[in-house]
Chain A
Amino acid sequence: MAGIGDEIQERLRRWTLELGGPGTRERLEKLTPPRNEYGVDPYGFDVDFMQAAAAPVLWLYRKYFRVKAIGLENVPGEGPVLLVGNHSGQLPFDAAMVEAACLVDKDPPRAVRALVDKWVPTLPFVSTLFARCGQIVGTPENCRRLLSAGEALLVFPEGTRGLNKPFSQRYQLQGFGLGFMRLALENGVPIVPVGVVGAEEQAPAILDIQPLAKLLSFPHFPITLTGLPLPMPVRYRIWFGEPLRFTGRADDEDAVLEGKVARVRDAVAALLARGIAEREHVFW
């Protein structure tokens, strides 16, 4: 699938099981998304391919970022849920780590789908890789459909504003979009706040060259201390907070929704504050 030979794919899958630790095979077998004779679900999610592609992600999860996931029991084992977190680090490793946590440190595992920007499907290879791993463009139609099918979605309401913010603004939550709250209200879905501690320091950006970003039709063009947006081996701590439930009309005015969104934002900020207070060091 997607240009990777069967043998390499098999080898990667074995690496995934090894990195996942004992019992990983049994846990992953509990993932049974719908699939047709070509091994994909209607969105193009290929659970076999994902388990192979997960290997390098798990290596980052276990060895590089040495992720500590706290409060995973707050993510419901089944049924629709929105995971809402802070976004940072120039490249979206935070999404991959949240998903890895739900895959290998949760029993039964959950295949969380991250909502990606409309920009992603214009990228060669990345678009295909993301689609086969279950990532989805965050249109309201897609979200509605997936939530009514009982799936777990990962949302970063800060979008690229958070992802590509300069180092000086680390752990300062940017403006949250309101779309996720409308979805939660419309579908009666709980929201699990997620605080990702560590990613904010992984690739300190000092500059954002907007003209270059425009030229390449990238959302941002950050220049980091190392020149490249590659992450340093910071230690991740991912905090999952207790599910929040909201009631009200999905098509209320923005002002009404902003109050509810602020509660989610505060919950994420509280997780971040606690995570920063309790960690000993950025790198270990």
Chain B
Amino acid sequence: MSAVFGLETEYGVAAPPGAAGPAGSASAAGGADLARAEAAARELFRPVVAWGRSTNVFTPAGARLYLDVGSHPEYATPECSTIEELLAAERAGDRLMAVLAEAAGRRAGAPVALLKNNTDSAGHAFGCHENYQVDRAGSAEVAAKLIPFLVTRQLLVGAGKVQVDPKGVRYLLSQRALHTAEALSSATTRSRPIINTRDEPHGDGRRHRRLHVIVGDSNMAGAAARLKVASMVLLLRAAAGGGQLPDLELAHPVQALRQVAQSWPAAQGRGAHPIALADGRTIDPVTVQWRFFAAAEAAAASPSETAALDLWRRTLTAWDRLDFDGLETELDWLAKWRLIERYRQRTGAALADPRVLRLELAYHQLDAQGGLRQKLEAGGHLADVIGHRQAAAAVTQPPPTTRAHLRGRFVAAARAAGREYTVDWVRLKLGQAPAVALLDPLDSADPAAEALIAGLEGAAAAAESAPTNEFDQIMAEAGRE
């Protein structure tokens, strides 16, 4: 039983004072910082625009690179149908963005920092959105039943955050918990929901719709990223197969989300943080997760899914026993907390010390100059679950099991042949010819698309080799093991 899913990650960009940016374009200091960040994001995208003549392009991997509202560089993975494909595609996006940031820094003469987190120092939030294709029939009920799961899964896959505000200083489990205002809604930027209900199927809308989860944190730890997506895939598969998802309607989902975010440190013991159910009872958030774990357990069908279930079970057991040792190589909130705690032991720094906040950002930093992940993985402090070879290959190679296989090859072939083309998630269009529509995301061998690609590949072989520009070189660099 196959389903299609993908991730959209918005990255943060920081440029130090004196770096690329219009001097004196804003009066307030925050305005100058913002102007610098926006200038850095545009600089980062300059090779992309030169390559695709747009700030919205699809790569030969079938992925979308996009300069989003607020000038967040965004990478949307191609459609994937296995967890392995998705993890490689997500990591490929990190690699591509990091090399783009490094190249922007070289051109500007000052480093451009690339961050994969979800909040800035001024309290703005940006996202890591998950997309899952679901059957249209019953999709509203499934979405509603998943809310308690999504509210409590930060116990496992939250990225952690040092929160400094008038209420005090504390370590939250989730980056986005304080930035989520509704359970289900079609809004995105003004009132962020847990699940966005905007109906964009990007396919056959009569049969399917897209379940668009926007409450999640961006993950640095591969094991956490795997668990975040695999747990959803397993629950949706169980529901589609006639299984029952737990019926645990929460009285106040957003309030519960914020409560659960404040479960750490967990010294108070099990049952110390009950959340309210709509029927008047209360429930422990860890119990909520055990219920969903039980619903998902039988659905695992691949080694990655089994590994994700294993981490799910070990993490819930750790919450039951309040003994988290060993999980710091797999969970972001814990890995970062242990790093911060060690730093504070060594220096005596308070949790709100600027050096601690800088260390927190370094955990999420991806550029080679400031990022810690490569070192953490090389030293075994973060488990490396993806494999560098797969991640490197996914920079330019689409997943073979979905229509991204056609889109990516079409882009590569049209460019090699020097032809004008336009693509989106559904359509492939060559020059003024009628577009080929790919309505089934799981169709990786549509005959009309294959014929189109074969024609282009023939033309490309006869043509002189297409000129490569800076973005081609950046993709090649990001795709090196």
- Are A and B genuine complex partners? no
